[in-house]
């Protein structure tokens, strides 16, 4: 059924604004390649949007206590949940998501906002957070110092990736709003419709103070050129783009605070103690198969490298081939489809090129099956490395692709994982505490998160691919060197740590 083209306007300085024709981008249904929406920022005053957020949204948020800001988050979470079915429908059309994948994104957005609303309730009627205990600074107890955290007086610009338009908006905004900073959200243009509709809902229902949220739909234009020393830039996307953002003249000159979440060659290690058919085995196979196919493999936390001891390699191959063989690829609007397309034509080109690169040192175990001729489809693909590999540790194929590698002992497993150059999350599946200790701490310094899979955890975990608001999301090296979420720590990106020193009773009075 043909869909009327939707014009996605930007929401800037408290008003909806439509850009000119010169940079108009067309959004398509990735399953059918049918145009569904368009967006442009040509001629829009993006610098003015930043000024409005700083001068109107910032003061309004800072005037509120943590508990009051938390109630704002709760209101947004409830609104997203109330419009869940509508948002799922948009995700099917604009992002090529199956219903399950769309729910994962939208429920993740509402859940993260709700989790931070709960956290805010524990902070109560405060506007300033103490950071650690105060300390006596001299011989007299009166000379006293105390670190505190206060909201920065700028604007938080969030440049989000195409794969999670709802969750990406919410996880960044939850921390910024609770910390007391206004947000200018820039979703990836290709899949911006869900983020646009969420913004419409927030504005229509007046869920936030004026100036607390702006939305840029279309090209970023000169948006980032107007950031200053009180502002924050949080980016999710490729490592190359992250490096260019860090090198912007004003970012360097004014020391703009930047957080980058980038590429990640996440790994899953199966311990030699794990028996075929055991609870730990089933957890491992389920998690790997899910990460290959969920969101068509377009997750920054997806498992890309699967490390297995020689004794169980053949059984792992057979189990994963069986799971992947049951996947039906096609238009998510069709009944029975369990994996949709990649999000864009460029993603399709990139995945095909990546598979060609990996082909130099791997063999295909499963994949290459028939997919619809129209749309941006790739079959779920399992590769096996010939030897330790080089490209497989250097190039991430951002799609439904994973590579099997063989290892001998915890030390070699950890060494192979470390060759990924830093990651968001890797996982170790074992019930052997000795192996777990060697493997987990052999890779811990190279990751933002390590998932420990064991038999007792089966049935109690969402797997390593799920980002939880209580734990940090980010990682060193290739992964961008940033950190988001992590409970209360997530607010730190948007706060200034200040040391107050002086007469103890005065300092304590001020901080109360």
Catalytic residue numbers read 261, 300
Beta strand 213-215 pairing with 183-186: parallel
Q: How far apart are CA 146 and CA 500, in angstroms?
A: 5
Q: Chain centroid to CA 21: how far?
A: 31
- Say how many C-beta atoms besides its own lie within 10 A of residue 367's C-beta: 17
Measured at the CA of 398, the angle between CA 341 and CA 198, to 5 degrees, comes to 65
* 3-state secondary structure (DSSP) of residue 179: helix
DSSP 472-495: EE--SGGG-S--EESGGGGGGGGE
Q: How far apart are CA 176 and CA 491, in angstroms?
A: 6
Are 35 and 8 spatial neighbours (Cβ–Cβ below 8 Å)? no
Per-residue burial over 22-50, b = 16 or more CB atoms within 10 Å of its CB, e = otherwise: ebbbebbbbbbeeebbbbbbeebebeebb
Q: How far apart are CA 475 and CA 449, in angstroms?
A: 7
Length of the chain in terms of residues written: 512
| Main-chain phi, psi angles of 10, to 5 degrees | -90, 155
Q: How far apart are CA 497 and CA 512, in angstroms?
A: 16
Token pair recorded at residue 54: 């700083």
Q: How far apart are CA 427 and CA 448, in angstroms?
A: 11
Q: How far apart are CA 281 and CA 426, in angstroms?
A: 17
Query: Which has the closest alpha carbon to 327: 101, 85, 86, 87?
Result: 101
| DSSP code for 55 | I
Residue given tokens 């040391």 in the structure block: 499
Measured at the CA of 128, the angle between CA 125 and CA 132, to 5 degrees, comes to 115
Half-sphere exposure of 472 (CA within 13 A, CB side): 20
- Say how many C-beta atoms besides its own lie within 10 A of residue 15's C-beta: 12
How far is the CA of 311 from the CAs of 140, 347, 369, 407, 414, in angstroms? 67, 36, 28, 10, 18
């Amino acid at each position: 059924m043909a869909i009327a083209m939707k014009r996605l306007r930007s929401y800037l300085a408290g008003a909806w604004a439509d850009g000119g024709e010169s940079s108009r981008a067309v959004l398509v249904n990735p399953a059918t390649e049918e145009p569904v929406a368009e967006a442009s920022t040509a001629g829009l005053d993006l610098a003015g949007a930043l000024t409005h957020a700083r001068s109107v949204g910032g003061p309004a948020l800072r005037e509120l206590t943590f508990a009051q800001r938390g109630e704002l988050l709760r209101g947004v979470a409830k609104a997203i949940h109330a419009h869940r079915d509508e948002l799922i429908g948009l995700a099917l059309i604009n992002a090529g998501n199956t219903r399950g994948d769309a729910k994962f994104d939208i429920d993740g957005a509402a859940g993260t906002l709700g989790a931070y609303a709960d956290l805010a309730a524990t902070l109560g009627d405060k506007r300033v957070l103490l950071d650690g205990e105060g300390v006596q600074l001299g011989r007299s107890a009166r000379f006293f110092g105390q670190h505190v955290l206060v909201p920065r007086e700028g604007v938080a610009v969030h440049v989000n990736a195409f794969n999670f338009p709802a969750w990406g908006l919410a996880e960044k905004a939850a921390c910024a709003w609770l910390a007391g900073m206004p947000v200018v959200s820039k979703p990836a243009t290709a899949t911006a419709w869900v983020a646009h509709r969420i913004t419409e809902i927030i504005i229509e229902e007046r869920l936030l103070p004026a100036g607390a949220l702006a939305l840029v739909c279309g090209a970023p234009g000169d948006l980032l050129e107007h950031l200053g020393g009180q502002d924050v830039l949080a980016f999710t996307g490729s490592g190359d783009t992250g490096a260019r953002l860090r090198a912007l003249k004003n970012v360097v000159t004014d020391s703009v605070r930047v957080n980058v979440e980038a590429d990640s060659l996440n790994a899953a290690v199966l311990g030699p103690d794990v028996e075929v058919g055991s609870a730990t085995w089933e957890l491992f196979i389920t998690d790997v198969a899910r990460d290959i196919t969920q969101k068509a493999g377009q997750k920054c936390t997806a498992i890309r490298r699967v490390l297995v001891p020689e004794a169980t390699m053949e059984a792992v191959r057979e189990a994963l081939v069986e799971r992947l063989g049951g996947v039906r690829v096609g238009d998510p609007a069709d009944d029975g489809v369990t994996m949709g397309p990649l999000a864009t034509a460029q993603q399709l080109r990139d995945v095909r090129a990546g598979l060609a690169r990996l082909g130099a040192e791997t063999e295909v175990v499963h994949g290459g099956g028939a997919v619809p001729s129209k749309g941006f489809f790739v079959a779920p693909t399992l590769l096996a490395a010939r030897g330790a590999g080089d490209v497989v540790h250097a190039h991430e194929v951002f799609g439904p692709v994973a590579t099997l590698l063989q290892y001998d002992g915890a030390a070699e497993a950890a060494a192979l994982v470390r060759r990924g150059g830093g990651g968001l999350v890797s996982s170790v599946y074992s019930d052997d505490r000795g192996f777990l200790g060697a493997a987990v701490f052999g890779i811990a310094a190279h990751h933002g998160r390590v998932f420990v899979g064991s038999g007792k955890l089966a049935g109690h975990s969402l797997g390593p691919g799920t980002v939880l608001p209580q734990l940090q999301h980010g990682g060193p090296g290739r992964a961008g060197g940033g950190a988001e979420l992590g409970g209360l720590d997530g607010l730190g990106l948007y706060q200034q740590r200040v040391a107050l020193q002086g007469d103890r009773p005065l300092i304590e009075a001020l901080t109360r």
